[in-house]
Amino acid sequence: MSTLSELVNLKLGDVTDSIIAEYIWIGGSGTDMRSKARTLPGPVKSPEELPRWNYDGSSTGQAPGKDSEVILYPQAIFKDPFRRGDNILVICDCYTPQGQPIPTNKRAAAAKIFSQVEVSNEEPWYGLEQEYTLLQKEVKWPLGWPIGGYPGPQGPYYCGIGVDKAWGRDIVDAHYKACLYAGIQIGGINGEVMPGQWEFQVGPALGITAGDQLWAARYILERITEIAGVVLSLDPKPVEGDWNGAGCHTNFSTKSMRREGGFRVIKDAIEKLEKRHKAHIAAYGEGNERRLTGKHETASMNTFSWGVANRGASIRVGRDTEAEGKGYFEDRRPASNMDPYIVTSMIAETTILFQQNHPRCLSCQH
């Protein structure tokens, strides 16, 4: 008699060409992820080879019961670290049967911005620092924290080690390797200032692929926490009080910023971001006002600021970038639960497309 884990690990390739494709999409809240699997006749190399599919949108808060069908368009594929072999994860976006993106599909509008020649010529790169908190399943309280109580104050936990400081490392490391296996450009991981909170980085990734990869990495993380019996939280301020919130710092550069004279282009971009501060804040994640207080390495959401090496500013420019006169900058405002399609495309729109009274500027009002 086989054990469950032996059956789960059966190698399909030994007996059939068929593969399993896990179709993944974003649900009605805009942050919940859903997925279901189907069998395909053989291995695939690109999302164009995959059939469209559909699901019951009335069960995800995305369509009325009377006309419930939502259509999935495959957009990006990754190797499946759970099923392995030729099996794949498929990041999809969602359309009505008439071919219109549904309201929670933020990828379609982002892809439009990234396909404009002014934008694609600039080869925009993104480095996304996803912070997240692991919670105990039964009480929804951070992993390692005493139930109904608190650990010692912040200080020893950031990049910390040891049984009294680092809680959840197996999950973090499993996720790190699973992302590399999948083909995600995961750049690193670290323990955070608040214990039970961790970070991984995706990038530098080009244009729309940054959003696709971050969503795939979030999906893999929630699947791993499911196995571990731990709850994944992307709440921007999981614990009130003297505890750091969770962000998704967004590092950004264009071709012109990365070459000689780039620092001037970076300063221009920061000026444009200042002009559209309110619009960006409004799009940078639900509940971000609980996090952007001006304390705990954040800038207040009501003021825009920037500085070299300043972790209390809205935008931080690294020392290397200043010294070399070219490079990238970090937008520290996005919350951990932000939609990377919205944030990455909006930064490109503001810094590359936006000019005063520019008719092609899509979402600014003036």
* Rounded CA separation 129/114 (Å): 21
Number of shown-chain residues binding ligand ADP (CB under 6 A): 16
The SS3 call for residue 337 is coil
> Nearest approach, Cβ of 244 to Mn ion (angstroms)?
8
The SS3 assignment for 74 reads: strand
Contact status: 132 vs ligand ADP (CB under 6 A): no
120-133 core/surface letters (b: 16 or more CB in 10 A; e: else): eebebbbbbbbbbb
**Phi and psi, residue 112, nearest 5°:** -65, -45
- Interface mask toward ligand ADP for 17-56; x: CB under 6 A: ----------------------------------------
Q: Is 9 exposed, middle or buried (0-12, 13-18, 19+ CB in 10 A)?
A: exposed
Contact 207, 124 (CB under 8 A): yes
CB of 92 to ligand ADP, least distance (A): 25
- Name the residues that contact Mn ion, by CB under 5 A: 129, 199, 249
Exactly one of 22, 122, 129, 235 binds ligand ADP (CB under 6 A); which one?
129
Binding-site partner at residue 298 among Mn ion, ligand ADP, none, CB < 5 to 8 Å by type? none
- Spell out, one character per residue from 176 to 195, where the chain touches ligand ADP: x when CB under 6 A holds, - when not: -----------x--------
Q: Which does 203 bind (CB under 5 to 8 A by kind): Mn ion, ligand ADP, none?
A: ligand ADP
Q: Is 81 in the site for ligand ADP (CB under 6 A)?
A: no
Residue 352 in tokens: 């590359």
CB of 68 to ligand ADP, least distance (A): 39
Residues 6+ away with beta carbon under 8 Å from 1: none
Q: Which of 251, 298, 337, 351 binds ligand ADP (CB under 6 A)?
A: 251
For residue 286, the minimal CB distance to ligand ADP (Å) is 23
Residue 256, classed as helix, strand or coil, is: helix
For 162-184, the DSSP string reads STTT---HHHHHHHHHHHHHHT-
Range 253-272, binding ligand ADP (CB under 6 A)? 253, 258
We find the least distance from the C-beta atom of residue 176 to Mn ion, in angstroms, to be 14
In our burial notation (b when 16+ CB lie closer than 10 A, e otherwise), range 172-206 reads bebbbebbeebbbbbbebebbbbbbbbbbbbbbbe
Minimum distance, C-beta of residue 316 to ligand ADP, in the bound complex (Å): 7
> 320-339 mask for ligand ADP (x: CB under 6 A)?
-------xx-x---------
Binding-site member from 83, 249, 276, 277 for ligand ADP (CB under 6 A): 249
Rounded to whole angstroms, how far apart are CA atoms 113 and 106? 11
Q: Least CB distance from residue 329 to Mn ion, whole Å?
A: 11
**Which residue, 127 or 211, has its beta carbon nearer to Mn ion?**
127
Residue 298 in the binding site for ligand ADP (CB under 6 A): no
For 6, 9, 305, the CA distances from 2, given in Å and listed in that order, are 6, 11, 61
Q: Can you tell me whether residue 123 is helix, strand or coil?
A: coil
Query: Using CB under 6 A as the criterion, which residues of the chain lie in contact with ligand ADP when the complex forms?
Result: 125-127, 129, 187, 201, 203-204, 249, 251-253, 258, 327-328, 330
